[in-house]
Amino acid sequence: MFTYQELKRSFFISLWFVFLTFPIMVVRVNSIEKTVQWRWMNILYVALGSFFLSILFRYYLKRKEYQASDQETKAKDDTGKSFIHKLLGVPAYKNSFYGILLVFAVAYPLIFSTYQTNIMTTALMYVVLGLGLNIVVGLAGLLDLGYVAFYAVGAYTYALLHHHFGLGFWTVLPIGGLLAALFGILLGIPVLRLRGDYLAIVTLGFGEIIRLILENWGTFSKGPSGISNIARPGLFGIELSLNTAIIYTYYLMVLFVIVTIFFVNRLQDSRLGRAWIALREDEIACQAMGIDKMKTKLVAFSLGAFWAGIIGVVFAAKTTFINPASFTFLESAIILSIVVLGGMGSIIGVIIGALVLILMPEYLRALSEYRILAFGAILVCMMIFRPQGIISSVRRTYKYKPQEHGEVT
């Protein structure tokens, strides 16, 4: 049976989900006729659904407490792992859910319009950006407010190499990522000795320096006018129409999201990932354990910059036009908000946070006077009622189990 406190907690969780999904589930905007339809019954569905899902989750946790010993559970988990578990690090019982999600992602352009597909492509780009920044902020604990600078490096790498040398998307894609990672190392060497607010201020200044260089160095970056006529991603030399190119870019982003989840999950469970988490918790204790904190920080900074550079190349190819106005501090703030809203260190949380923060303003575009207000209100409420994020990362605990008498050590 459930206690009063557990039922109360599930009730507040359902209220939180109602507030979070209110703009998407209740408000329906017809941008052509400029009318708003209020679907109040959806509030009841969201409240009841989230309440019962929370109850089921707590029931699952209670059942887990009565399972067999740790060794038997571990053996069962090892034998029950499937290909999807080994690839993405998810439990075997979730395979059906992830399979349905993958089928939905593949069928999305066939179900929805090109406009909706284009919006979802943008959301998936921010998913990858959020996962990249999650390495720096969520795992390593380094507050980076100039993340958009690496995003700009990747975008301008493709734009300039295509404009001057005619290089294609697939050729420049690794170059943009590696060049952004190099910038991350060059920035990290002098500034990663700083901590907290000081590191945030320096990275913020770096982001603004990159933007001002791109805006004022006209002979190099075309200045505020930007660079246009950037080629879209190619497919074996085949010329694609606009609609086909949008769908093709969408599938590329689905692939990039899967690959990013795979790498981030493996990094998080690796020796390097454990070093990042130790560095985030206590730098002095981390250094006392023999971990080179400077190299560990540099690796985190360069890997996060690499993913930003990759998506910068995709952004330039998707929009076919870039200028310095696309890489302001607001972009860094949005990406950081995705990580904080979703849950620092949580892969699933960052994905949900990106989808909420990017899709919600797009679907409320007709209510242009209020959508930023809703955006800010959700962030403020999250910081007050759920500061750990939508899905917080589970803190690992280790339990010492002494061996029984007579066992060979």
Rg (CA), the chain: 23
Residue 117 falls within a domain, yes or no? Answer: yes
Provide the residue type at 65 as one letter. Answer: E
**Bridge partners, residue 35, by sequence:** 30
Alpha helices in 112-241 (DSSP H): 114-133, 148-165, 169-191, 196-216, 218-221
Residue 386 CB neighbours (<10 A): 17
Residues 247 and 168 in one domain: yes
State pTM to two decimals. 0.75
Are 123 and 217 in the same domain? yes
Sort 183 into a burial class: Cβ within 10 Å, 0-12 / 13-18 / 19+: buried
Is residue 185, in this structure, part of any structural domain at all?
A: yes
Cα 340 from chain centre:
10
**Is the same domain home to 57 and 125?**
no
Shared domain for 59 and 155, answered yes or no, is no
Pair 347, 261: CB distance under 8 Å:
yes
Provide block-wise average pLDDT over 10 residues at a time, the chain (409 residues). 74 80 73 76 81 76 60 48 47 64 88 89 94 90 89 94 90 93 90 81 90 89 89 80 89 94 88 87 83 87 93 93 90 88 85 86 66 69 74 65 58
Residue 95: inside a domain, yes or no?
no
Q: Which domain holds residue 24?
A: 1-66
Give a yes or no: residue 201 inside a domain: yes
| CATH code, domain carrying 135 | 1.10.3470
**Residue 177 half-sphere exposure toward CB, CA atoms < 13 A:** 16
Amino acid at 213: I
Residues 271 and 190 in one domain: yes
Take residue 254 and report the two structure tokens written for it: 């689905």
Closest CA to 105 of 234, 257, 260: 257
Place of tokens 């930003």: 308
Beta pairing, strands 27-30 & 35-38: antiparallel
pLDDT the model gives residue 57 = 74
- Quote the CA–CA distance of 103 and 107 in Å, as a whole number: 6
pLDDT at position 87: 47
Q: Which residues contact 127 (CB under 8 A, 6 or more apart)?
A: 257, 260, 350, 351, 354, 355
Distance separating alpha carbons of residues 26 and 37, to the nearest angstrom: 8
Does the residue 304 lie in any domain?
yes
The rounded distance, in Å, linking the Cα atoms of 11 and 374 is: 23
Q: Judge whether 255 lies within some domain.
A: yes
Q: Could you please report the per-residue DSSP string of 219-254?
A: HHH-GGG-B--PPPPPBTTB---HHHHHHHHHHHHH
Task: Give the separation between CA 173 and CA 195, rounded to whole angstroms.
Answer: 32
Tell me the C-alpha distance between 316 and 322, whole Å: 6
Can you give the pLDDT at residue 68? 44
In the numeric block, which tokens belong to residue 242? 């606009």
* Contact present, 307 and 256 (Cβ < 8 Å): no
Indicate whether 301 belongs to any domain. Answer: yes
- State how far the Cα of 91 lies from the Cα of 47, in Å rounded to an integer: 27
- 342 CB neighbour count, 10 Å cutoff: 31
What's the CA angle centered on 272, arms 357 and 315, to 5 degrees? Answer: 35
On whether both 57 and 116 belong to a single domain, the answer is no
User: Is residue 292 in a domain?
Assistant: yes
Name the residue with tokens 């578990």. Answer: 85
CB atoms within 10 A of CB 105: 17
- Residue 355 and residue 116: Cα distance in Å, rounded? 13
Q: What is the pLDDT of residue 76?
A: 47
Q: CA–CA separation, 207 vs 148, rounded Å? A: 6
Cβ atoms within 10 Å of 228's Cβ, excluding its own:
13
Asked whether residue 40 falls in the same domain as residue 125, the answer is: no
Query: What pLDDT score was predicted for residue 370?
Result: 62
What is residue 341's predicted lDDT score, i.e. its pLDDT?
A: 85
Query: How many independent structural domains does the chain possess?
Result: 2
Do residues 210 and 298 both lie within one domain?
yes
